[in-house]
Amino acid sequence: MVQKVLGRPKKFNRDVGLAAAIEVFWQKGYNGASLDDLTQAMGINRPSLYATYGNKEKLYLEALSEYGKIFGSAQLAVFESAKDPKSAVQAYFYEILKSQTRLGDCAQGCLMSSCAATTVEEVEGVSEILTNGAELLISTVEKRFDEFKNTKQLPSDFPSKAKAKLILDILQGFAYRSRIGIDRQILLDDIDEKVIQVIT
């Protein structure tokens, strides 16, 4: 008689599961994303979701934080590494639109602007994540603009903080237009106009 050897169960990859949850929340929002949607996308059952992430709210907060690390950090790195103000703002807006207007069957817009902002009063902790993200963006951009001022690439009276806030406002507009399905190329064609608004 041949004994059946049971293989070791495939180990759940927490990071892969979190990435799948990000996509579900990005596409459907917090309220629109059911536990069935999440577990199916993540490849786990409900008990495993609770054991790994706590509950839906905690999974959502972790997804928002991870989204900020994946997309926000990479986009700011592009801005910081550019050699002049114009190319910095151009590259930054391009990276933003690249994530907001992903091709294929993907959610559009920005998870933070399109989805998270609507749950500030509903899920404790969202407001802090959004506030920290906005403050990081403004402070990082302001600092880089000040560096450009020090190297005479921007005038000494250039309002670094006000322009950093303007970039944040422009991002929200891009996110809204991306979410409602404005053609990707139209948005990309608008970048140069937005760059002029920022650096002049």
Backbone φ and ψ for 151, nearest 5 degrees, come out as: -95, 15
pLDDT for residue 129 = 95
Average the pLDDT over 66-86 and give the result: 93
Query: For all residues of the chain together, what is the average pLDDT?
Result: 91
Alpha helix stretches (DSSP H) within 45-183 = 46-53, 56-67, 73-81, 85-100, 126-150, 160-179
Q: What is the Cα–Cα distance from 75 to 137, expressed in whole angstroms?
A: 10
What is the pTM for the complete model shown? 0.88
pLDDT for residue 28 = 93
